[in-house]
Structure 1
Amino acid sequence: MSDSIAAHARRLQAEARQENERRGLVLIGDREDGYDVLETILEGLEAPISRTTLVGPADRLRCEQRTQHETSGLLGTTRDVVIVDAHEGLEPNTIGRVVGTIDGGGLFILLTPPLEEWAETRDAFDESLVVAPYTLEDVSGRLRRRLVETIRAHRGLAIVDVGSGEIVDEGLTNPAPKLERVGRSNTETTEAIADTESRANREGDGIRETAHQVGEKDPKTEASFPCLAYDACRTDDQATALGHLEALSEPGRAVVLEADRGRGKSSAIGLAAGSFAATGSRVLVTAPDRSNVDDVFARARELLEDLAAHRPADTAGELNRTAVEPGRTAVEPGRTAEVPQSVTASGGDIQYLPPLEATDQLSEFDFVFVDEAAALPVAVLEDFLDAERIAFATTVHGYEGAGRGFSVRFRDRLAASDHAVTEYTLTEPIRYAGGDPLEVWSFHALLLDARPVVPDLLEDATLDTVNYRKLDAETLRGNERLLRETFGLLVLAHYRTEPNDLARLLDAPNLETYALTYEGHVVSVALVAREGNLERADQRRLYEGARLRGNMIPDLFSSHLRDEAAGGLAGGRVVRIATHHAVRSAGFGSLLLEELAEDVEPSVDWLGTGFGATPSLVSFWHQNGYRPLHLSTTRNDASGEYSVIMCRAMSKDGQAFVDRHERWFVRRLPNVLADSLRELDPDVVRAITRSLDPAYAPPLELTDNEWELVAGAAYGPALFDVDPGPFSRLVYRYLLERAGGGPEPDESTGRGTAWGGEPLDPHTEQLLIRRVLQCHPWARVATDLDYHSSRACKRALGNALEILVDTHGTDTARSVKSRFQE
């Protein structure tokens, strides 16, 4: 029986190789029977064990083994066979990660229980969707049923019962014979031509082809990649991408390559890196994991060896120096060292460094390449902008939220940098042919290619013509178009959306979807997670430090902010909100939030949200009735920003909750601004303080000596540095009151308590925040805010203090002013 299944696996592999496609093989039945069959299958396949990976909880086969949580290390690698053991559980992210790593002619093998049983079985991943007070029985399994249905429906996926040996579905596509293709294709690389000096320039894409005269040009001023680099491209699409990378020959340039998996962006980077290294340049390559750059170094090595073969004998040795990792022994020329960290050529080199090490050594390299950029925190990506010449390669679709961390958050910062940016998207598959059945299945099953509705269908949408509706999971499950529009909008709008979120959308018992639609099409969508409403025992557990999955806001306020009663309140956290780009900034998001609040008001005490704080987002939520209650003291790894929690009261108990935490937040904010939030963007501080109720501003209680110091610094020779404390209290009071609507003046103290005039200009407020509240030194503030000198910065602070003293000062302060103005 095992032999017949192995024979069928060989037929699948043969057809996959013939078509340069991949095939899937689903082994259903008992787990142990599945592994017995696998042993026989692997013995008969023409696939080296070094290019075979088992993704499962235990090392059961003679090949590389990873758990599902470790599959991110496969990004940037190429495999012939990937086996996924789904018996204990299957994360959708795992499929998104591994399918794209399989080469043309390869197999994806999935071990599952019988499909009917698997669709209705709740496993370890389903347990991760359970949120108190819900149980595993409340997880619906809609995504699992979707996987089963698409496995049965899609071509190119065989289904075999390992217990009976029955081939339920052959998975063979039986393609018609094809004519042999001429020229560059997806299946073969054009052979290098020795006499490349005589070849004409390519036409059509404008890419320059020149003789590979290595070392004739200074890479800091000019570069033309050798013909052999373009010969090594496997598609015209990849050759075009390589041509765009030549833009890095000019200083102050940045190139962005985007692609679905298997389009050859890593190989293009390798060819570009090899071309630059061959001219004597130092090239830095980085990625989240060293294994992500296997293809980069492999292609760079191949190019350098080809260049060496076409060079005169006296220089070939320079070009063909062997790549060796630190601490490893050199290998013979022509053989590949295991995952090299550096390749040297003509005095140049290509070196891998982990991202955090790389950002500290940018000045040591002429060119920097960042692969799998979407998987890096935005704060780290920003640090790479210090490089003079840099390229980013990122995935358009895939497990890392469709690359949205890069696209949503980082792209604006890249555009605002001093770099001239070139962008290119690769679309033509390289590892396998277009229309590959495995890619078609994975994209359909996980909605990796989901898109919002085309803009033309929303051009007449207005606030008066849209409809508010709750989209229950069963409705989405039964309406493919609605599901694709909803999920596609979330993918394009949010940097953290990933395949696992599709499971949450369809299966998580605490997650609800609300939308505005126009003629049935999704205009704006919000995902709301029900949180809190916990039993007394769970409230105690949170307070004592336990973690309850899916209760982010109750957890934070119970354990970190020491409010044991917070867990007992019923809340709704807006996990995502997205509006179609065609109608953005037209009020649809605010309308959706207002309709949502009215809809859920009877069942919740509060509505809340948590997000990476930016000035515009803080202002948006404040305008919709949400108040800032907490700022994280560390940056979010994905967004690179400090997260803020904002809440809106929906009941009497909810109002008491919001009031007490806003009051405390107002009082503690100055302390963290001078400590763990010293690097918080001052414009975020401006937005946060503008969103706080000035009624909670602490009393401005300065002694006469302190008013003499503050007024003396504004109008006389006194120094801010003698005692920054009173200055900080005055500036903070101003920031809380300047939006208007503060408490009434207290005439008994002889000073005002509300800001009555026009606010200071933004640049001056940034100065007050940077120097007075965040305690940055004068030189740093002057540099950050573009003052000519520290002295100019001090003068500007004095001018601002004059205005604040005039508004808030006591009789003592006014007497100091009078003395220096006489």
Structure 2
Amino acid sequence: MISEPSKDLRAEAAAELLRLRPGLRCARQRRLWVCAGARDWCVGAVRRLVHSWRPESMLWLGEETPDGSEAAAQRDYRRHLGGEYELVVLDAHAGLDVDALAAVAGTLRGGGLLVLLVPALADWPRRVDAQFARFAAHAARPEGHFLQRLISCLEDPAVGLLQQGHGWRPPMPPAPEEAAVEPAAAPSGQAAAVAAVLALAHARHRHRPLVLSAPRGRGKSTALGQAAAQLPAQRILVTAPGRTSCETLLRHARDAGGRVPSFVPPDELLRRRPAADLLLIDEAAAIPLPLLEQLVLGWPRVALATTVQGYEGTGRGFELKFFPRLDRITPGWQLLRLSEPIRWAAADPLERWLARALLLEAELLPEERLPALAPEALVYECLDPGRLGADEALLQQLFGLLVSAHYRTRPSDLRQLLEMPSLSVHVLRQGEAVLAVALVIPEGPLPTELIPAILAGRRRVRGELIAQSLVAHAGCEAAGRLRGLRIMRIAVHPRRQGRGLGSRLLRDLTAHMQAGDAADWIGASFGLERPLLGFWEGNGYVPVRVGLRREASSGQHAVIVLQALNLNAQSLLERLQARFHALLPLQLGDGLEGLEPELARALLAAAQGATDPMAALEPRDWAELAAFACGRRGYEVSLVAIHRLLRQYEAAWLHGDILGPGERAFLIEKCLQHHPWSQLAQAHRLDGAGMARARMREILCRLLRAVAPDRFEAECRRQSA
């Protein structure tokens, strides 16, 4: 029941929550309190609550706190995940980071209160905020479907709702039978986890890793820390996506009086390969699978902890992808699932609400509900986001499918799915069962006046991943003037994979887009691995760009593939492909020297009849040279133009007096002998690799001004206009 508005509404709410507190503590349950209205009004309500509660520990995410104490930005929520709080306040007036909401709720102990400050509920869904702007480059205003759904979830009786001018509804108190005494000993699941880690440490067999899998708050990290404290004679290393991710592990090892194990980041661990008797990996689902596989194989005894739901990247997708790898590389590995919460009681209302509101437990359609595959019964459909917001069963089925295919899925992906106006959702279904899904977003054309600056590396445009890369990295300004479609995600139900459904969906959505003349090209960007590349090439897509650095999210080089949708784009695609195949052999010796040989071979296999990288300079080469010498364009993506310049004007720079001896040596060592930047810096007494890159720009600028001054200066002016 909602109380009528009154002068003492905020004081009434604070008093009611204070009366609720003893019951929550006794039952070890948590509650959500939503305060909706003007920010100053909401902050005033929290001030009254804090004054009456006097919490032992408190975390405030958002703008300044009511008492002037320090507040943390929502984007910095990971720094606080090792803590434990009685009161957590998230101020969403400037925007709601749903990843932060899901994460910090896990720091709230039983008996605590999560407070969410939001604008007036009637206005909130259509407001543009900083979190929405992260992925809404193509629209001025959000659709509001995600926030409308979130607001509907506030009808849960375990949620307290205080609305400025609309009254107050207190949260439901715990039932008398839910009262429980704080457990004196660790739950049996956590004790079993500690015992399993100790058994692993003393086992005779090697390379039989242990995986602890559980929802957040089940004590996985605590168990790893307690086990480490009981192994003082062993050399133990800890790794995780970041040090903050394993603070709980390290703290419990320290509190138990044991020697605190050393933390080493995953990439450094693989580079240094320090000896250890036991390697503990916390939050394993957030580490790229290729790195995780190397870690498991690199040390004799490894224990991993992974979260099966929430912000780390939904662990069900992680399990579907990583567990089969463990079967292959380490037969005999062990799995222990923990289900009993540590910080709060079982069946906690707040945990249940978060799972429903953020689809943290979205499941695949089970085998018994999947129809026998009948190709003639398959139906292609482009879904309206509004339909997803109104059809909960369809939304859960579709999101469960996306989670299964991508182990780094986050709650913010749900908001993007429902809120992003330009996003289109394409499905292949049979009856009511969704068997495949693809998410597609438009790109381009880029603002014409910005294209030269994008080529020079001086400007970036949000949300134009492929279109921008084709200009900035592939050096193709014409690509920036075309309309494109980027396939952000594509997923097929695991029980129906290998049946051609992904290819069928690509054909159907391409035909749908061509019929509506929606774009000139369609493409995708993904982590380079042989099966994925084969899938896209088998469907008529060609690679046109490989990233020089491995992506933090996948541990792989990103590759861009394209397919032309009309004759105009086909001509451009042929030029892009020729340039890529001219550039790739040069990059394999300077920039991509660490690329796996089988992947290099797969990319080179399509290079039949490719353009000669040593051909005469073309107009686009002059544009790339100016962008590098006078702009911020990268060296490695300009290699074709640079090598053509050095070949065409070899007599001038190598035998003439345009350059000095040191400058000639610099060009030979880098461009012909492929010395690393750090080695060049040391040899030429420069302050680091960055200064060596700057020196290369200076030398090429000097050479270009000598051999083609008018053309070079004109191109520099065009790009800086």
Q: Counterpart in 2 of 1:327?
A: none
CA contact (8 A) 1:516 1:522 kept: yes
Q: Which residue of 2 aligns with 1:582?
A: 495
Q: Does 1:493 align with 2:426?
A: no
Q: 1:265 aligns with which of 220, 242, 253?
A: 220
The Cα of 1:242 is off from its aligned counterpart by 2.8
CA contact 2:139–2:422 (8 Å) conserved in 1: no
**Is the contact between residue 158 and residue 170 of structure 1 (CA under 8 Å) also seen in structure 2?**
yes
Corresponding position of 1:288: 241
Shift of 1:533: 2.8
Query: Quick check: 365-374 or 645-654, which moved more?
Result: 365-374
Q: Which residue of 2 aligns with 1:561?
A: 474
Q: Which residue of structure 1 aligns with residue 133 of structure 2?
A: 127
Q: Give the match for residue 173 of structure 2.
A: 173
Describe how 1:657-696 pairs up with structure 2 within 5 A: 657-690=572-605, 692=606, 694-696=608-610
Q: Distance in 2 between matches of 1:775 and 1:464?
A: 56
**1:168 Cα deviation from its structure 2 partner:** 2.1
| Cα contact 1:54–1:61 (8 A) shared by 2 | no
1:295 positional shift: 2.8
In structure 2, relative to structure 1, the CA distance for the partners of 1:519 and 1:257 (3 Å cut) is: same
The 5-angstrom pairing of residues 205-604 of structure 1 reads: 233-234=186-187, 236-245=188-197, 246-250=199-203, 251-277=206-232, 280-304=233-257, 343-344=258-259, 349-359=260-270, 363-378=274-289, 380-385=291-296, 386-403=298-315, 406-407=318-319, 410-411=322-323, 413-417=325-329, 420-540=332-452, 542-544=454-456, 545-601=458-514, 602-604=517-519
**Native 8 Å contact 1:613 1:644 kept in 2:** yes
Offset, 1:360: 5.5
| Contact persistence 2:445–2:481 (CA under 8 A) | yes
Counterpart AA for 1:14: P
5+ long unaligned stretches in structure 2: 1-7, 616-672, 676-721
Match of 1:154 among 153, 156, 177: 156
| Further displaced range: 577-586 or 25-34 | 25-34
Within 2, Cα distance between the matches of 1:699 and 1:384?
39
What count of residue pairs does the alignment treat as equivalent? 604
- Alpha-carbon distance in structure 2 between the residues aligned to 1:559 and 1:405: 33
Deviation at 1:450, TM superposition (A): 0.8
Residue 260 of structure 1 deviates from its aligned partner by 1.2
Range with bigger deviation, 53-62 or 597-606: 53-62
The partner residue of 2:144 within 113, 133, 141 is 141
CA gap 1:244/1:466 in 2 versus in 1, 3 angstroms: farther
The answer (yes or no) to whether the contact 1:76–1:266 under 8 Å persists in 2 is no
Q: 2:49 aligns with which of 41, 49, 52?
A: 41
The offset of 1:546, in angstroms, is 1.8
Q: 3-state SS of the aligned residue for 1:464?
A: helix
Query: CA 1:103–1:609 in structure 2 vs 1: closer, same or farther (change >3 Å)?
Result: same
Contact kept, 8 Å, 1:13 with 1:23, in 2: the verdict is no
The normalised TM-score by structure 2 is 0.78
Q: C-alpha offsets along residues 334-366 of structure 1, whole Å, 9 cap, x if unaligned?
A: xxxxxxxxx43xxxx533344455555653432
Residue 10 of structure 1 is aligned with which of 11, 14, 18? Answer: 18
> Aligned equivalents of 1:627 and 1:101: distance in 2?
46
Change (3 A) 1:694 1:180: closer
Cα deviation code 1:113-163 (max 9, x no counterpart) = 2211223322222222332xx3313x2011111111111x112111123x5
Using a 3 Å threshold, how does the CA distance of structure 1 residues 423 and 649 change in structure 2: closer, same or farther?
Answer: same
Instruction: Give the SS at the match of 2:360.
Output: coil
Whole-angstrom distance in 2 between the partners of 1:514 and 1:54:
40
* Contact preservation (8 Å) 1:376, 1:638: yes
User: In the TM superposition, what is the alpha-carbon distance from 1:454 to its structure 2 partner?
Assistant: 1.0
Instruction: Give the counterpart letter for 1:682 in structure 2.
Output: P
Q: Which residue is equivalent to 1:212?
A: none
Q: Distance in 1 between matches of 2:614 and 2:162?
A: 76
- Could you list the runs of 5+ residues in structure 1 that have no partner in the other structure? 182-186, 191-232, 305-342, 702-773, 777-822
Aligned-pair CA distance for 1:506: 1.0
- Assess if the C-alpha contact under 8 Å between 2:285 and 2:407 holds in 1: no
Shift of 1:413: 4.9
CA distance in 2, matches of 1:169, 1:44: 19
Contact 1:378 1:637 in 2 (8 A): no
Cα offset for 1:540?
4.8
Residues 695 and 458 of structure 1, relative CA distance in 2, 3 Å threshold = farther
CA contact (8 A) 2:47 2:66 kept: no
CA contact (8 A) 2:26 2:179 kept: no
Change in Cα spacing, 1:699 to 1:595, as seen in structure 2 (3 Å) is same
SS in 2 for 1:47: coil
> Which runs of structure 1 show a deviation greater than 6 angstroms over 4 or more consecutive aligned residues?
none
Give the SS at the match of 1:114: coil
Q: Residues of 2 paired with 1:92 and 1:115: CA distance?
A: 17
- Does the CA-based 8 Å contact 1:531-1:554 persist in structure 2? yes
Q: Judge conservation of contact 2:20–2:173 (CA < 8 Å) in 1.
A: no
TM-score, normalised relative to structure 1: 0.69
Identify if the C-alpha distance between structure 1 residues 623 and 360 changes in structure 2 by more than 3 Å, giving closer, same or farther.
closer
CA deviations 1:367-409 (Å, max 9, x no partner) are: 2212122233445434533222111111111113214785466
> Within 2, Cα distance between the matches of 1:427 and 1:553?
42
Contact 1:536 / 1:568 at 8 angstroms: preserved in 2? yes
How far apart, in 2, do the equivalents of 1:174 and 1:660 lie? 68
d(CA) in 2 for partners of 1:458, 1:4: 52
Amino acid at match of 1:583: R
The alpha-carbon deviation at position 485 of structure 1 amounts to 0.8
| 1:522–1:418 distance in 2 versus 1, CA, 3 Å | closer
Give the structure 2 partner of residue 95 of structure 1: 101
- Taking a change above 3 Å as real, the CA distance of residues 693 and 457 of structure 1, as seen in their structure-2 partners, is farther
Cα offsets for 1:423-476 (capped at 9, x unmatched) = 222222222122211111111111111112112222402322211111110111
Give the match's secondary structure for 1:177: helix
C-alpha contact (below 8 Å) 1:513/1:525 kept by paired residues: yes
Distance in 2 between the 1:70 and 1:668 partners?
40
Larger radius of gyration: 1
Shift of 1:177: 3.2
**Identical positions, percent:** 33
Q: Distance in 1 between matches of 2:282 and 2:81?
A: 10
Tell me whether 1:24 sits opposite 2:32 in the alignment. Answer: yes
Residues 552 and 252 (structure 1 numbering): CA distance in 2 closer, same or farther, change over 3 Å?
same
Shift of 1:620: 0.6
Moved more, 584-593 or 259-268: 259-268
Q: How many Å separate the matches in 2 of 1:382 and 1:60?
A: 47
- Residue 184 of structure 2 corresponds to residue 189 of structure 1: yes
State the shift of 1:549 in Å: 1.6
Q: Distance in 2 between matches of 1:580 and 1:591?
A: 14
